[in-house]
Amino acid sequence: MDIESVVTQLQAELGQAVQGVERFRGETSILVSPAKVLTACQWLREQHGFDLLIALTAVDYWPSEPRFALIYKLYSTASNAFIGLRLPVPGNAAEVPTLENLFPNANWHEREIYDMFGVGFAGHSDLRRILMPHDWEGHPLRKDHPLGYEEVQYTFNFDEIDRRKPYATR
């Protein structure tokens, strides 16, 4: 499969929704408008056989805008080819359409991104926390999330830290 022809055809299909193309170390990623991600993935699946969502993750570029980037990696089992989609998502309206109906495994990936970054997925069937406790406040992989700290216990400070540890009592 010729990835360059796929990129050219997708640009013709989506027009201005394709904001650019990135090539790095033999991998191609297409910058797509968040509103058109479902259309792009559906087109890639139906026209070129990209039938497997390999990965879905996010990056936080705080304090820059757009704050987030969602990265989708698709794979064609028929032609053994990979292609990436990259979506710039603004921090003040961090929500994109779900791909759950197109790729069922997107359910867990999207829940993880929601839990860790706070990016919502419109139309998701069960968007709730998956890694953090349900009462956790905030999203731990956001760069503005406060860091937790626990002092490391060594031989020289063992007694001091041991006194502060919350041991269970009977």
Task: Kindly tell me if the per-residue pLDDT of 169 is higher than 80.
Answer: no
User: Per residue in 12-25, pLDDT tens?
Assistant: 999 999 999 999 99
Instruction: Give the closest residue to 61 by CA, choosing from 36, 27, 89, 32.
Output: 89
For the stretch 52-99, pLDDT in tens is 999 999 999 999 999 999 999 999 999 999 999 999 999 988 899 999
Tokens, residue 36: 């058109």
Report pLDDT digits (tens) over 100-123.
Answer: 999 999 999 999 999 999 999 999
Given the structure tokens 């650019």, which residue do they identify?
A: 20
Q: Which contiguous run of DSSP H or E holds residue 41? A: helix 37-48
Write the CB contacts of 35 (distance below 8 Å, at least 6 apart in sequence).
17, 96, 97
Residue 162 Cα distances to 113, 155, 168, 170, angstroms: 36, 11, 13, 18
Confidence (pLDDT) at 166: 79
pLDDT of 8 over the 90 cut: yes
Average pLDDT, the chain: 92
Residue 90 makes CB contacts below 8 A (sequence gap 6+) with 65, 66, 67, 68
Sorting pLDDT into bands at 50, 70 and 90, what band is 35?
A: very high
- 137, HSE (Cβ side, Cα atoms, 13 Å): 3
Q: Put the strands of the sheet holding 81-89 in their side by side order.
A: 18-24, 27-32, 81-89, 68-76, 52-60
Model confidence at 165, in pLDDT bands (50, 70, 90)? confident
